[in-house]
A and B are shown apart, each in its own frame.
Chain A
Amino acid sequence: MKQQVSSTVNGEPVEFLCAADETLLEVLRDRLSLTGTKEGCGTGDCGACSVLLDDRLVCSCLVFAAELEGRSVTTVEGIATPQALHPVQQKLLEHAALQCGICTPGVVVAAKALIDANPEPTEEETRYWLAGNLCRCTGYDKIIRAVMDAAAEMRGATS
């Protein structure tokens, strides 16, 4: 039995059909071709599939797509504007805070959510907020620096 779901994805209204046990991650990748959201584990342990669900950070592998009715989702594809990267994206690049890049989409979404919730995160707050985003390449050092730098820049830009 397929569910018909109306929701908003990256600001655009979207309708799709899905099975009742299909996850948001499956729908994003396989039905909506939004493959920027990655699957690293399927059990909520790695954070590569992070998205914002009504502005709340979640693992899309642990959300049923059918739950989306009337709700909104932001994926990594919806973080930059057509004109410019989000400061988090720009700072990740400037700090060389990615090597293979598979965790990066999840880090981008999670870091944006952090700065939205806490414009001046400490190193410890940044590390704990991002503890659910596994990265095996960088040892996290440059990611943490980049995110804190992005927060600082956004504070400067908005003050």
Chain B
Amino acid sequence: MDSFAFQAPTSLDAAVALLAEQRQASVRTQILAGGTDMIVQMRSVDRAPRMIVDIKRIPETRSIQLGEDGLILGSAVAGAELSARDDVAAIYPGLVEAADLIGSTQIQGRASVGGNLCNASPAGDTIPALIANSAICQIAGPGGWRELAVEDFVVGVGRNALEPGEFLVALRLPAAQPRSADAYLRFIPRTEMDIAVASAGVRVALDENGVCTAARVAIGAVAVTALLVPEAAEALIGTRLDDAACAAAAAASSAAARPISDKRGTETYRRQVVGVLTRRAAVIARDRALGGQA
């Protein structure tokens, strides 16, 4: 292929067929959702021509379905569209906050949770929030549908588990338990427009007495991929999420982190701050769960 091409299929079947056909013809394809990472990379890192396949005209990638079974979030739903859904934010406030933290208002008009996940940056904001919520990827491809846990979807820096011809259609989040809530925090040097230096997503469920019965803690920007930290969750389960428990979870996150030093922060700094964020996110999730937000 010596120049770029552009297609915008309008159904899942058409998209799957198009991708299969291009694969057969050995044409390189590139899925386009919001494009906020992909277009920058195509302009600066990898300029080689390819076929751009815009999935935003496929209904399944643009829908938000909230029901008793949980949430199904189309992979190309823009952050601004998600933020406008108060019903989703009531149950998954941390996920909505994570999506809302990505870039400016302008970026919010385009960037999607699915795209953020597929881009597979170690610092992707939605990834720890998705993992904390036990989110599952719904993938379409030549072999039909498959599902994969988010923590298994990202396999390296900028690498995901999609096979040739596959693409991410939606994310499925299980229904929230009673008295449960999530929270996501990241650290950036400014108030906006930065990439996370460290981040933490926490989901907790409480019993009638305020004792934590279930928890998931995921941290970002402190390893090649976002990490699920079971030790941090264990430190929370069975407690009332008091200062000591949150501090123990913080220590577990810091211990699990495998950060590097780069232009955005030092190894020491990231390790320390990811603990601070874990602690603060756990407190927010607890207060939300107690406040009956879930």
Chains A, B in direct contact (C-beta < 8 Å) = yes
**Does chain B have a CB within 8 A of A10?**
no
B40 engages A43 (CB within 8 Å) = yes
In the complex with contacts A53-B109, A132-B192, A132-B193, A44-B6 CB distance below 8 A: no
A27 to B41, CA, bound (A): 20
A131 engages B191 (CB within 8 Å) = yes
B6 engages A20 (CB within 8 Å) = yes
Interface size class of A (residues with CB under 8 A): 20 to 34
Question: Which listed residue (B6, B49, B103, B110) contacts A3, Cβ 8 A?
Answer: B6
A57 engages B105 (CB within 8 Å) = yes
Contacting residues, chain A, for B261 (C-beta < 8 A): none
A64 engages B6 (CB within 8 Å) = yes
Contacting residues, chain A, for B54 (C-beta < 8 A): 64, 66-67
Considering only CB atoms, which chain B residue lies closest to A130 in the complex?
A: B105
Chain A 25-68 interface residues, beta-carbon cutoff 8 Å to B: 42-45, 47, 50, 53, 56-59, 61-64, 66-67
A47 engages B6 (CB within 8 Å) = no
**Does chain A have a CB within 8 A of B104?**
yes
Considering only CB atoms, which chain B residue lies closest to A66 in the complex?
A: B6
> Distance in Å from the Cβ of B65 to the closest Cβ of chain A?
21
Question: Which listed residue (B52, B56, B106) contacts A110, Cβ 8 A?
Answer: B106
Considering only CB atoms, which chain B residue lies closest to A50 in the complex?
A: B106
A18 to B104, CA, bound (A): 27
Considering only CB atoms, which chain A residue lies closest to B108 in the complex?
A: A57
Contacting residues, chain A, for B191 (C-beta < 8 A): 128, 131
A19 engages B105 (CB within 8 Å) = no
Considering only CB atoms, which chain A residue lies closest to B42 in the complex?
A: A21
Considering only CB atoms, which chain B residue lies closest to A5 in the complex?
A: B6
**B residues within 8 Å of A by Cβ?**
3-6, 8, 32, 35-36, 39-40, 42-44, 49, 51-52, 54, 56, 78, 80, 103-107, 109-110, 191-193
Q: List 30 A-B contacts (CB under 8 A).
A: A1-B3, A1-B4, A1-B5, A3-B6, A19-B3, A20-B3, A21-B42, A23-B39, A42-B40, A44-B104, A45-B193, A53-B109, A56-B78, A59-B106, A59-B107, A59-B110, A61-B39, A62-B35, A62-B39, A63-B110, A64-B6, A67-B54, A110-B105, A110-B106, A114-B105, A130-B105, A131-B105, A131-B193, A132-B193, A133-B104
- 9 smallest CB-CB distances across A and B, nearest first, come from A132-B104, A131-B192, A20-B4, A20-B6, A21-B4, A66-B6, A58-B109, A56-B109, A59-B106
**A residues within 8 Å of B by Cβ?**
1, 3, 19-21, 23, 42-45, 47, 50, 53, 56-59, 61-64, 66-67, 69, 110, 113-114, 128-133
